[in-house]
Structure 1
Amino acid sequence: MSATLNAEKFSKYFGNCPMIHIPGLAFPVEEFLLEDVVEMIGYRPKTQNQRPSWKKGFMQGRNSRPEKEEKEAEYKESWPCYARTLQDRYSESTIEVLEMLDNDEKIDLELILALIRHIVLQEEEGAILVFLPGWDNISGLNDLLMAQQMFKSDRFVIIPLHSLMPTVNQTQVFKRPPPGVRKIVIATNIAETSITIDDVVYVIDGGKIKETHFDTQNNISTMAAEWVSLANAKQRKGRAGRVRPGKCYHLYNKLRASLLDAYQLPEIMRTPLEELCLQIKILDLGAIADFLSRALDPPTEEAVSLAIKHLVDLNALDQSETLTSLGVHLARLPVEPHIGKLILFGALLGCLDPVLTIAASLSFKDPFFIPMGKEKMADMKRRTLSRNSKSDHLTIVNAVQGWEEAKRRGQRYEREFCWENFLSANTLQMLHNMKGQFAEHLMKVGFVSSKDPKDPKANVNSGSGLYGEAWGSGGRAGWLVTVRSKVYTQADGKVVIHPKSVNAEENQFNYTWLVYHLKMRTTSIFLYDCTEVSPFSLLFFGGNVSIQKDEGQETIAVDQWIVFRSPERIAHLVKSLKRELDVLLEEKIRNPAPVDWNNRESKDCAVITAIIDLITTQEKGATGGYQGEGARFLLAREEPWAAD
């Protein structure tokens, strides 16, 4: 059921099955487009030297999809004719302003502020709901409102609604204010269908929505503010007719409205497909490409092929597309495959609890929130919790461990810890519950002997630092290099660490390498959730290791492109240990059983202990402690390959 479901499409897919239409009980909503709004409030932009996009010449953006570029080309060609049709109904001033506002990139927050003022001064009582695409817009409009003396009074309740906001603030959105007080909610599309604010009478539709896509050619996720679909616009309009007749102001013109897509692109066509592919195999539904070709909206062949390739690289599928032993386990875990591999390796390497914390956070969300106006303070607290680990993953581990300790001391301490560190107690509790579910699954399949994530037998190496390196076993896209505070990946060249990372402003790294969880292209290519890693971590957990000579000097390489110079004896020692580790992990995946850490003479224990010794010795050397054999590794080249 849905107010905007494409019922005919579903009916046809299911053999022309019958449809039932149930009339709704919503009140009528009067709609206005951009030209109506500009005429109504007499708006003129403060910056009046903008040239409309149709006069600028159409630029094919690197981020644009072909269908979007075609729509923009059509819009550009149609604008002069459309502008002439406006002359009979609208003033010359309005048409001139429409040309100024005809900018595909930005939302005019000053226009929204002027419209809110108009509603407040000219319209009857009722809550106002403003739809904006993301945090920057929401924060910007909130700042504009709070800069006006009028909105600082107790006659207004202004509530930003975003996933980064504290939960306690967001619950205010459902409370009806007392008579004489007007509620103004500034929200993303979460307020479109996910929640209902039942006292909304006025809706301001900014016309944009943030949407993620997956670029199969460049193997990268993208996120940009796109024009809404007609289905989005209908849902937003419907928010205004819950309690009495309402009004909806769409901030795009009639020409733009005529070119909007009927529906958003289905998620199966704009996201990575690895997790879905594993489900197809575990349910024995046949060849992946054949099964997905019969979907209501089939993904592209390129997207399917790339997902299969990633699963083969992850050793979840073999070359004939059959599930491996690892693939069977990953398909049964309710997380993305690379995070599932992280969970399994955390159990096998004896660092279960912190690894489950990292996996839960990456699967759900991190527990930090950002109150409006306190962004810098929140960033500072996050960096403090990192304890100079140069790791977003370990920052989450430290936050969760601090919360668990505070919770043990009592509710008051828990509340104070969360408040001081800008942490959401609800999110932390959710992560705690997820960890328990992961541990229970691991116990059922035999990887651990207890469903308690903190079971000492499953955490013998949680204090050694190895869990910081286990992440490399599950990394999705892999490794990047830092050179004099600049960051590069092999595929993309120069990239940017996302501003919320504890490494965003870091310029004193101990090593040259970081591992990241996700890269996404927005205004730049940003890396999310990264951790500094040592050379030994790369060698043991980063990929295939090979030994070769370069100008008479022995070198050791990971996947042929991460190259280190090394004494010959150390290079062969590492390769042998790496081979033993791979054999051990493969055997444990095939026949799950906890490692017997009490038997220090066992091969399993000996191999992992040797690796821990090498990694921790190297880390001590990097931070000024004892420099053992591991600290002798040097990068073969100081300049990044991207500069070549």
Structure 2
Amino acid sequence: MSVVAGATPGGSKSQWRGRRAGGPGRGCAGGRVGGGGSGRSRGGEQGWWDPVWRAEKLKQLQAEGPKEEVLDENEWWAKLEKLKVALDQQEVVIKRNFGRNGADILEDLHTGLRRSRWEQATPQGQTLSGVDKEKLNVELRDNQRQLKASGAVKALELFRKKLPAFQMKSELLEAVENNQVIVVSGETGCGKTAQLPQFVLEEEIEAGRDSECNIICTQPRRISATSVAARIRLEAKRSAQTRLLFCTTGVLLRRLVQEPDLNGVSHIMVDEIHERNMNEDFLLIIFRDLLPRRPDLRLVLISATVNAELFSRYFGGAPTKHIPGFTHPVKELFLEDVLELAHFPVGSDQGGYNGHGGRRRKAQEKVQDPVLEAFEGINIDLEYRNYSRGTQQSLQAKIVLSTNIAETSITIDDVVHVIDCGKAKETSYDTLNKLTCSTPTWISKASANHRRGRAGRVQPGVCYHVYPRLVYDSKLRYQLSEMLRTPLQELCLQIKSLQQDSIVSFLSKALEPPEVLAVQNAIDLLKAIGAWTRKEDLTPLGCHLAKLPVDPKVGKMLLMEAVFQCLGPALTIAAGLAQRDPFVLPLEHKEEADETPTIFCCFCWENFLSSNTLQMMDDMHRQFQNLLSDISFLDDSKGLLIYNQNSQDLEMVRAVLCAGLFPSVVQCKLRGKRTAFLTKEDGKVEPHPAFVNTRVNSFSRPWLVYGRKVKTDAIYVLDSTDVSDYVLLMFGGNLTTSKNEQGIEMLDGYHQFKASKKTLHLVQELRRQLDLLLDIKLKDPQFDTHQEGKLVITAVLELLQSDGKEEGGCNWGTGGDHYRR
């Protein structure tokens, strides 16, 4: 039985979930609020971007919605107790507004109810290993048979039998039983993801082996894991009695660190392996080494493409099973076909050029779009309101805008038309220049076929490929593995946490091994941030970073913010670096939106901010805080105030940023009336035009630390902040004395600092004491640095505030006012 709280315009958790699925919501930047037909503003144009219109619409929705009711816990617990024995009722829809707190209470009541069923079979205080397993297996088998005899489950079984996977149930179960590894491929919607785990679990219960059954199904993304679990109506929480767990691949990898042999796990199912994500490829290496040690473990690889032979060969010729999916015919139209149907002029451009002086210039001819011409002068919104209600309902359509996640991970049953742009945003990594770019790239033929297949789920459909057939024919057959096109530092940390000796030799066992230079770049970076020793062993810092499922730079920033008591702002910055840019760009207000980041920082409605991205950043903020608590860097019993004592100290915040982002440092040098920005790897760079620092005429500090850099027509740094000499000296790389002993150096001499011998000695000694204090803290997270190392912390804070002023213009770094732009 599952409980679903009704979504009404109030503000509970369940209501917010409903809004994310397309209902009315607050701050829906980038879409209509409520989806009504009254979204008009000045000049009769669509007004979703208008903050005044959005605010008025939200007030209207809140006024029309029902008031929050007070939830009576005893009343609802009694109702749920009565329903738990009603086998013919699987879902209860509660169409009442109990607010956010009420929704949380209902969820807890439901979870407690589900757990109480297990407690009947497992006495309180007794673990599963302490009960009569044979008796438990019999009870569970009887419960399953009783459940299958109920009317609701019989109706569900009729639906399951229509799925192509059900027709191969016996064959699939036999293959799982007789082989340690099998590869299952099948078209989207055939039932391989949701049904195969249920087949195995039901078979184990029926065979009396449930007490020994423990199935883990991995998904590449959290939304995929939760959506599949919801389809099977599982609980949202894991308990000791859980027999079927859906989780992300990252969750399983972190479990492998604690349980290298996965004792107690009987089946592993890795879904979506065709996507070739880094974590999935990493898992394949681990399992190929693990399976000989665990002959009782069964591994099922699930792919939505027919390249199963690639994975079969990797596991020594493992058997493959293909589930033929049923899809209705889908008509494919490429760009030339669409233009021809629209009577849009298509042909040679040769006559459209005029030659003059050896140059060809296109003649400017205005060609009217036939679709726009047909509706020119018609007020669509007014015409729609004049229709009868029945006609209005018949004209309503569902339009889904999606990333490539909808290719295989999320299923929308009633899609009939698919518009395929032919591209996806993909990360690529330049190993020579150490540059990471996230740019739209052409998808593979396999991805294009997946997109096409979405149109034929319920009836014949049409797929419009918005690119020529020639482009399709020239595409790669399958997408390039993520391991071959992204930085590897986070992966290297995970490999080391699994007690592997050589990173290079471990990755050489991959399905498609990455370049040696890419591996060496990752090793060099981990050494630079202090996560690895010269012998490539994990330092105390590296051990903590390996436990944090984030980029190592962001992870180091999280640790430093907890140590130096500026938790709040640094958590927000880390969450911002981990998410996409929250600013949106309405085409009609491009200039106004360009000015927004530098002028306003208040409400997303008024400032062209994506409410969804801000919500994800808020969620990430809380997740980071929980991660720090899990590794004992935060003590929840002390409250958060003690960890925010330096949150108002901007120099301390800059120092934490530098500690995390180093060695991503830019040196600012005065060249005439302008400032040149230089890095060790790239030479000249520039602040990105879309970010605020490109408009700063002068910086009060001689260095910039940055989060990312991209290469287009030039090399640009993004997410940059200026920092002082002392920040870099205290929180940057290792300091070494220069050859002439008149200065100190960083990054093998690329950054040089000069001062009096007395000042140099004091700075190096303070840095040594600070590193010693941090090393103790990293080895013992409960060590109180501000109590035990009060003198050192106070000296560092005072030094950061002085910014070298006591030197009377001391020539640190390249010194002077060189950093004016």
Residue equivalent to 2:598: 383
What is the aligned length? Answer: 495
Q: Secondary structure at the match of 1:374?
A: helix
* Equivalent residue letter for 1:358: I
Q: Distance in 2 between matches of 1:257 and 1:436?
A: 43
Is residue 310 of structure 2 the alignment partner of residue 9 of structure 1?
yes
Q: Distance in 2 between matches of 1:321 and 1:151?
A: 69
Are the counterparts in 2 of residues 212 and 270 from structure 1 also a CA contact under 8 Å? Answer: yes
TM-aligned CA deviation for residue 593 of structure 1: 2.7
Q: Distance in 1 between matches of 2:779 and 2:416?
A: 60
Is residue 427 of structure 2 the alignment partner of residue 212 of structure 1?
yes
Q: Distance in 2 between matches of 1:630 and 1:444?
A: 46
Residue equivalent to 1:605: 790
Q: Distance in 1 between matches of 2:716 and 2:378?
A: 36
Is residue 666 of structure 2 the alignment partner of residue 480 of structure 1?
yes
* Equivalent residue letter for 1:353: G
Q: Distance in 1 between matches of 2:519 and 2:351?
A: 43
Residue equivalent to 2:648: 463
Q: 1:436 to 1:186 in 2, by over 3 A?
A: closer
* Equivalent residue letter for 1:538: L
Q: 1:273 to 1:181 in 2, by over 3 A?
A: same
Residue equivalent to 2:773: 584
Q: 1:562 to 1:578 in 2, by over 3 A?
A: same
Q: Distance in 2 between matches of 1:425 and 1:525?
A: 30
Are the counterparts in 2 of residues 485 and 506 from structure 1 also a CA contact under 8 Å? Answer: no
Are the counterparts in 2 of residues 203 and 240 from structure 1 also a CA contact under 8 Å? Answer: yes
Q: Secondary structure at the match of 1:480?
A: strand
Residue equivalent to 1:389: none
Q: Which of the numbers 697, 707, 717 marks the counterpart of 1:527?
A: 717
Residue equivalent to 1:506: 696
Residue equivalent to 1:615: 800
Q: Deviations over 1:294-320 (max 9, x none)?
A: 222222222222222222222222233
Q: 1:630 to 1:246 in 2, by over 3 A?
A: farther
TM-aligned CA deviation for residue 630 of structure 1: 7.6
Q: After superposition, where does 1:273-292 map in structure 2 within 5 Å?
A: 273-292=488-507
Are the counterparts in 1 of residues 429 and 486 from structure 2 also a CA contact under 8 Å? Answer: yes
Is residue 774 of structure 2 the alignment partner of residue 628 of structure 1?
no
Q: Distance in 2 between matches of 1:9 and 1:155?
A: 57
RMSD (Å) for aligned C-alpha atoms = 3.8
Are the counterparts in 2 of residues 156 and 182 from structure 1 also a CA contact under 8 Å? Answer: no
Residue equivalent to 1:250: 465
Q: Distance in 2 between matches of 1:187 and 1:531?
A: 33
Q: After superposition, where does 1:427-438 map in structure 2 within 5 Å?
A: 427-438=613-624
Residue equivalent to 2:606: 420
Q: Distance in 2 between matches of 1:583 and 1:44?
A: 73
Are the counterparts in 1 of residues 604 and 610 from structure 2 also a CA contact under 8 Å? Answer: yes
Q: Which of the numbers 430, 440, 460 marks the counterpart of 2:626?
A: 440
Q: TM-score, normalised by structure 1?
A: 0.68
Gaps of at least 5 residues in structure 1 are 53-99, 101-109, 122-147, 158-175, 386-398, 403-416, 622-626
Residue equivalent to 1:19: 320
Deviates further, 148-157 or 285-294: 148-157
Are the counterparts in 1 of residues 530 and 539 from structure 2 also a CA contact under 8 Å? Answer: yes
Q: Distance in 1 between matches of 2:604 and 2:469?
A: 48
Are the counterparts in 1 of residues 528 and 663 from structure 2 also a CA contact under 8 Å? Answer: no
TM-aligned CA deviation for residue 517 of structure 1: 0.9
Q: 1:617 to 1:24 in 2, by over 3 A?
A: same
Are the counterparts in 2 of residues 29 and 247 from structure 1 also a CA contact under 8 Å? Answer: yes
Q: Distance in 2 between matches of 1:472 and 1:235?
A: 44
Q: 1:202 to 1:443 in 2, by over 3 A?
A: closer
Larger Rg: 2
Are the counterparts in 1 of residues 662 and 732 from structure 2 also a CA contact under 8 Å? Answer: no
* Equivalent residue letter for 1:442: L
Q: Which of the numbers 746, 766, 776 marks the counterpart of 1:558?
A: 746
Is residue 734 of structure 2 the alignment partner of residue 544 of structure 1?
yes
TM-aligned CA deviation for residue 591 of structure 1: 2.3
Q: Distance in 2 between matches of 1:593 and 1:289?
A: 35
TM-aligned CA deviation for residue 568 of structure 1: 3.6
* Equivalent residue letter for 2:723: V
Is residue 380 of structure 2 the alignment partner of residue 153 of structure 1?
yes
* Equivalent residue letter for 1:33: F
Q: Which of the numbers 318, 326, 330 marks the counterpart of 2:545?
A: 330
TM-aligned CA deviation for residue 273 of structure 1: 1.0
Q: Distance in 2 between matches of 1:39 and 1:546?
A: 69
* Equivalent residue letter for 2:806: G
Q: Distance in 2 between matches of 1:255 and 1:371?
A: 33
* Equivalent residue letter for 2:454: R
* Equivalent residue letter for 2:779: R
* Equivalent residue letter for 1:533: V
Q: Secondary structure at the match of 1:154?
A: helix
Are the counterparts in 2 of residues 353 and 462 from structure 1 also a CA contact under 8 Å? Answer: yes
Q: 1:442 to 1:226 in 2, by over 3 A?
A: closer
Q: 1:152 to 1:223 in 2, by over 3 A?
A: farther
Q: Deviations over 1:198-220 (max 9, x none)?
A: 55444343333332211111111
Q: Distance in 2 between matches of 1:156 and 1:486?
A: 58
Q: 1:19 to 1:333 in 2, by over 3 A?
A: same
Q: 1:289 to 1:43 in 2, by over 3 A?
A: same
Q: Distance in 1 between matches of 2:494 and 2:414?
A: 42
Q: 1:242 to 1:615 in 2, by over 3 A?
A: same
* Equivalent residue letter for 1:250: H
Are the counterparts in 2 of residues 34 and 252 from structure 1 also a CA contact under 8 Å? Answer: yes
TM-aligned CA deviation for residue 555 of structure 1: 4.0
Q: Secondary structure at the match of 2:790?
A: helix
Give the share of equivalent positions with the same residue, in percent.
41
Is residue 530 of structure 2 the alignment partner of residue 315 of structure 1?
yes
* Equivalent residue letter for 2:333: F
